[in-house]
Amino acid sequence: MHAYHMSASNAEPRLVHLDCPEPGLGQIQVKVFACGLNFADILMQNSTYQDTPKAPFTLGMEISGVITAIGPEVSGLSLGDRVAVFCGHGGLAERGVFDANRAIKIPDQMSFEQAAAFQITYGTGHVALDHCARLQPGETLLVTGAAGGAGLTAVEIGKQMGARVIAQARGADKLAIARAAGADHLIDADEDLRSMVKSLGGANVVYDVVGGDVWKAAFRATNPGGRLLPIGFAGGEVPQIPANHLLVKNLTVIGFYIGGYLKSHPDVVHGSMKTLLEWFVDGKLQPHISHCLPLDRVAEGMDLLRNRKSTGKVVITMPET
Contacts for 291-300 with beta carbons within 8 Å, 24 or more apart? 291/315, 292/34, 292/113, 292/316, 292/317, 293/317, 294/318, 294/319, 295/2, 295/4, 295/15, 295/92, 295/94, 295/319, 296/15, 298/4, 298/13, 298/15, 298/37, 298/59, 298/92
Over its length of 321 residues, how does the chain's per-residue pLDDT go in tens digits? 899 888 876 668 888 999 988 999 999 999 999 999 999 999 898 888 888 888 889 999 999 999 999 999 999 999 999 999 999 999 999 999 999 999 999 999 999 999 999 999 999 999 999 999 999 999 999 999 999 999 999 999 999 999 999 999 999 999 999 999 999 999 999 999 999 999 999 999 999 999 999 999 999 999 999 999 999 888 778 888 999 999 999 999 999 999 999 999 999 999 999 999 999 999 999 999 999 999 999 999 999 999 999 999 999 999 876
**Could you tell me which of 320, 303, 319 has the C-alpha nearest to residue 37?**
303
Cis peptide preceding 56, ω within 30 of 0: yes
Rounded Cα distance between 103 and 230, Å, is: 27
Query: Any bridge partners for residue 84, and if so which?
Result: 64, 104
φ and ψ of 221, to 5 deg: -95, 5
Strand order of the β-sheet with 140-143 is 185-188, 164-169, 140-143, 203-208, 222-230, 252-253
Task: Decide whether 2-118+287-317 matches 121-259 in CATH topology.
Answer: no
**CATH, domain range 2-118+287-317:** 3.90.180.10
Query: What angle, 0 to 180 degrees and rounded to 10, lies between the N-to-C axes of helices 172-180 and 149-160?
Result: 40
Ranges of each domain in the chain: 2-118+287-317, 121-259
Rounded Cα distance between 102 and 106, Å, is: 13
Pairing assessment for the beta strands 313-317 and 27-36 based on DSSP bridges:
antiparallel
User: What is the pLDDT at residue 10?
Assistant: 60
Answer CATH for 121-259 from 3.20.20.70, 3.30.565.10, 3.40.50.720, 3.40.50.300? 3.40.50.720
Rounded Cα distance between 112 and 123, Å, is: 17
